[in-house]
Amino acid sequence: MSALAHVAGDPGLEPAAAAPEVKRRSWTAYLLMLPGVLWLAIFFLLPLVQLASVSLQSRYPGFPGYYYRDLNFSNYASALTDYAPHFARSFLYAGLATFLAFAVAYPLAYAMAFKAGRWRNLMMICVIAPFFTSFILRTFAWSQILADEGWVAGVLNFLHLLPNGHIINTPIAVVAGLTYNFLPFMVLPIYASLERADPRVIEAGGDLYANGFTTFRTVTLPISMPGVLAGTLLTFIPAAGDFVNMELLGPQRGKMIGNVINDQFLAVPGGYPVAAALSFTLMAAILVLVFLYIRRFGTEELV
Amino acid sequence: MTTTTRTTPPATTSETPAYRPSAGKRAQVWLANHFAMITAVLVLLYLFLPVAYTFVFSFNDHGKTNIVWQGFTWEHWQDPCGVQGVCESLVTSLEVGVISTVVATVLGTLMALAMVRYKFRGRSASNVLIFVPMATPEIVMGAALLTIFVQGFANIGINLGFGTIVFSHIMFCLSFVVVTVSARIQSLDPRIEEAAQDLYASPMQTFWKVTFPLILPGIAGAAMLAFSLSFDDFIITNFVSGNESTFPKFVYVASRRGIPAEANVIGFSMFVIAVLLVVGAQVVSSLRASKYKS
């Protein structure tokens, strides 16, 4: 068998990367896959099915916490009508945060890929390292940094840049927190796709008398597009579902959809069906957005 | 060490007549180069700013709330467990992290080997099953797990607590392990394994003596990623933990009345330990690389 495999993947004819996949007895593959697939089936698919069924349940009037199986689509109707502003805010804040994270992450990823030289590994560690301090501690630290007595609010107020004198407990602080928390998810994929690029291709843009911006727009950015795509998705999806930044940095009123889902499940008695409907709506909305986005900008190199 | 070769110009340019940019152009290029690096350093400082705050406020001689600076003290570093619940939650987080990392890394590595090395029926469906958990918002996963645990698993005696946290963490770490390890296996030259087989190594010998040592760095990276994802998870844990408290949950609950500085001590210590581990691993691997070169 190994001789056959050797002929099939004759190393003399094909470069290593393009060597055809070796096909072996496939029951080995099933054995290897089985435990992991079972785990995902029991702890990912099954819970989603249960969530779908809960989203259609009705509650016994007068008995909070008790539900019966039903096809009650009014949970979705109430999810969409009562909480439309929360969905809108979530997508708006997550969209803004994704754009800001892109603007901040790109120069860093670019510098790491092309300019860092022997500092590259160190910079890589620096991008990942803040992760090791609990993100809730770091978000709480932002609430201290952005506090009214803090230097950031002080400087911005001195320049009369803040409309009502505060950053903390405003949507600005929420967007800032979301931008910060998911930034490494933007940096790493962009870096990965730039790092694979040949710097000579980009130099060629300059040699052909393109100015810096034109080279960036027509050469560098398209090369890094798979990374930008992956990075924006990895930033947008968790940001749209987040509630911690809103809870620690945001205003008392005007919450995001994540806060509503969290409260409905954990604090509102009998909140399960509507909360489940909200969760499914959020997931569906994100999947549709992701699908449209990939259709518009997509490449096949997503994963 | 391939990293340094990138910045040096390719040797082939000497064949074409040398093109000397004007001084103005060169200044522009110099500025452009350093613009990227300066921006990068500023972004890194921005990433570290809250970590620095966490560090500084671990010395705060605070009263009820640790929000405003009130004075310096060593007290919290001398007794990080001085506040009730903080070290218990840390131990829980470490236990959850270790168990989840071990299980997710083993299951994920097996899956990655199957996904890269074999063609089988259901391969593309498995690919979707691995990808979708990474594209699902945590709050949806947490909500789904809560409903199945409360309405299904509770009937067979599994209640919210340590076990359900571990089950959930293994689930969301798994996909990241598969992706990380797959990337490493894909980057291997299949001819190395073929050579081992040509030298009459059995498939088992080939795997343990050749393949496994080569993909080990990928497995180690995946394990580190899994541990940090598990250790730092709050949103899913908050749904499935019941009365059990993990470190992030402790911090979140405490944040309503002010996080005790002991939590800052622990958070910053974890950061230092992790950085030392990562730097140590880098040093070891570069020492090894230079040993093979000489």
φ/ψ (deg, to 5) at A59: -100, 150
| Average pLDDT across chain A, whole number | 82
CA–CA–CA angle B176, B179, B180 (5° rounding): 85
**Minimum CA–CA partner of B10 in chain A:** A200
Looking at per-residue confidence, does A152 or A86 come out higher?
A86
The answer for residues whose C-beta is within 8 angstroms of residue B266's C-beta and 6 or more apart is B80, B86, B87, B90, B247
User: Which residues are CB-contacts of A227 (< 8 A; sequence separation ≥ 6)?
Assistant: A109, A189, A190, A191, A192, A193, A194
Q: Which two tokens stand for residue A190?
A: 């962009």
Determine which of A70-74, A291-295, B120-124 has the lowest per-residue pLDDT on average.
A70-74
pLDDT at B197 over 70: yes
Helix axes A257-266, A221-241, angle to 10 degrees: 30
A183 touches A129 (CB < 8 A) = no
Alpha-carbon gap, residue B199 to B184, rounded angstroms: 24
pLDDT for position A180: 95
Residue of A nearest to B193 (CA): A6
B178–A36 CB contact, under 8 Å: yes
Q: What is the pTM of this model?
A: 0.83
Contacts of A91 in chain B (CB under 8 A): none
Residue B240: closest CA among B102, B133, B148: B148
> Taking every pair of C-alpha atoms in chain A, what is the biggest distance, in angstroms?
77
Give me the residues paired with residue B72 across strands.
B60
Cα separation of B58 and B20, whole Å?
A: 55
Cβ atoms of A209 and A138 closer than 8 Å: no
DSSP notation for A65-93: T-EE----THHHHHHHHHTHHHHHHHHHH
Residues of chain A in contact with residue B117, where contact means CB-CB under 8 angstroms, are 21-22, 24, 29
- The backbone torsions φ and ψ at residue A58, rounded to the nearest 5 degrees and listed phi first, read -115, 155
Residue B153 contacts A where some CB pair is shorter than 8 Å: no
Residue range A272-289, pLDDT digits in tens:
888 999 999 999 998 888
pLDDT the model gives residue A67: 74
Lowest mean pLDDT among A35-44, A267-276, B47-56: A267-276
Residue from A7, A40, A66 whose CB has the most chain B CBs within 10 Å, to mutate? A40
Give the residue from B203, B66, B178 showing the smallest Cα distance to B116: B178
Say whether A50 and B108 touch across the interface (CB within 8 A). Answer: no
* Closest Cβ opposite residue B10 in set A180, A200, A286: A200
Q: What's the CA gap between A188 and A231, in Å, rounded?
A: 8
What pLDDT does residue A25 have? 58
Residue in A39, A105, A280 closest to B171 by CB: A39
| 3-class secondary-structure state, position A19 | coil
Residue A19: pLDDT over 60 = no
Nearest-angstrom CA–CA distance, A249 and A150: 14
Segment 87-126 of chain B within 8 Å of chain A by CB: 107-108, 110-111, 113-115, 117-121, 126
Inter-chain contact B255–A140, Cβ cutoff 8 Å? yes
Phi, psi of B245 (to 5 degrees): -120, 130
What would the pLDDT profile of A48-89 be if each residue is shown by its tens digit?
Answer: 999 999 898 887 777 666 777 777 788 888 888 889 999 999
Scanning A59-170, the segments in alpha helix (DSSP H) are 74-82, 84-110, 120-128, 135-145, 151-158
What band does B86 get if pLDDT is binned at 50, 70 and 90?
A: confident
Overall average pLDDT of the B94-113 stretch: 96
Q: What is the DSSP letter of A162?
A: -
Q: Is the per-residue pLDDT at A177 higher than 90?
A: yes
